[in-house]
Structure 1
């Protein structure tokens, strides 16, 4: 397959190890988090995976906003105004903000996620803190405009690109597997935030269903050609392990369809 996959880093925050593992961590220390959007290209077709958050939301939540993820797609030769398909892995604030910056796009989502974001669980502060209400209502408006496509089960909306349901971190979470020249690469999104969540079997602290989070680790492994083909959703190591798109995009964008650096 000829799919190219890009990870574009648009924000970061300082954090500590105990914040990233259920039950904490006995060796607490700094463990910063990066924020990404992803793009898949096969010839003229571009699929964007998640849309990041805005500078205003970054200020509200104490995140360091490095660049607008939508405007930064142009660094990869991608015109957001021309993108016709966006996969939303889930509706947390850092994955669905800026959806309105894609005027031609249909949004691919699991129906369970929209039900979750609108349902009775949102009366609990611990669960709703990861959502921005304006993002959720905006996706409802997109649905009324017939621009949301709902998927259930493992589906292949485009040749070589599959969406996989998993849940756990959020009730309707999904991840993406992509057939590439090096094998099946899995964009895990928040099924595993860091390599270490997956490798140690310790899920991230924001959890709707811990058992489904653990099952999600197994689903990632089953969909990927090898553990080295799994790309976590927030790990700064992604920028170190994969080659930059070009020298001037070092630390900004990397190619995930190429083999990891030695």
Structure 2
């Protein structure tokens, strides 16, 4: 069906840290500061008619600078998945952190869709402050500005249809324009939460992530997603960084074992 897709969840990196590094004011919970993993993903929605890419991961340089374990470079991961960058219909960016915009240059012609409030923040006066500046590379922002100048970036407010049936929705919280993407599949509607929900525990227990632009907005984003689930608008939530994500869905085999899972029938 033209408005039904297979969602591909593809892991390209990982790291180990502790819980106080990922949950805001963790000492308030009175729980052990146990080790925790963090995985890094890109997402794809595709059928026989079109391919939509959601976020582009971190670049090799960006990952190495931060000590991330690179499991496979993102352009190589796309190749293994059979994604031709020149044939991608649109690239949706949920927010402009380094691990979500690191490979925009891979796509030679696809339009880039990003929330206006996100772009305005990262090109505004506060983006260079230390608490924000570590989240994105200067060359990545320069690349984004270049694409804007080339007319390749489409800036939206609140929500926008990316392709028939696929929608990007601005929710805020983690960053000023943090967005989520909904995709219809044969197994129901999938919500690609990106960093609106880094961890399932974050959402289920309302435990904000340590990096947050608007704390009230982050709590509100949890409730926005919860409402979508309760109303039956969404059947599956895909977190942004939870190491348990792949195990919740259909695993790939062969060279993609442990790196990829899918939701919905292939076209």
TM-score range relative to shorter protein = over 0.9
Distance, in Å, in 2 between the alignment partners of 1:222 and 1:71 is 37
TM-score scaled by structure 2? Answer: 0.92
Q: Provide the residue aligned with 2:49 in structure 1.
A: 44
Q: Any unmatched runs of 5+ in structure 2? A: none
Counterpart selection for 1:196 from 201, 204, 214: 201
Q: Number of residue pairs matched? A: 258
Q: Provide the residue aligned with 1:239 in structure 2.
A: 246
Q: Provide the residue aligned with 1:5 in structure 2.
A: 7
* C-alpha distance after superposition, 1:63-100 (max 9, x if no partner): 11111112211222211232231001011000001100
Counterpart selection for 1:81 from 82, 86, 90: 86
Counterpart selection for 2:256 from 233, 249, 257: 249
User: Do 1:187 and 1:232's aligned partners in 2 also have CA atoms closer than 8 Å?
Assistant: yes
Matches within 5 A, 1:30-179: 30-179=35-184
TM-score scaled by structure 1? Answer: 0.93
User: Do 2:191 and 2:234's aligned partners in 1 also have CA atoms closer than 8 Å?
Assistant: no
Residue 121 of structure 1 aligns to a residue whose secondary structure is coil
Distance, in Å, in 2 between the alignment partners of 1:132 and 1:243 is 34
User: Is residue 215 of structure 1 aligned with residue 220 of structure 2?
Assistant: yes
- Report the structure, 1 or 2, having the larger helix content: 1
- State the shift of 1:184 in Å: 1.5
User: Do 1:35 and 1:94's aligned partners in 2 also have CA atoms closer than 8 Å?
Assistant: yes
Cα RMSD of the aligned pairs, angstroms, is 1.6
Distance, in Å, in 1 between the alignment partners of 2:87 and 2:117 is 28
User: Is residue 16 of structure 1 aligned with residue 18 of structure 2?
Assistant: yes
- State the shift of 1:148 in Å: 0.3
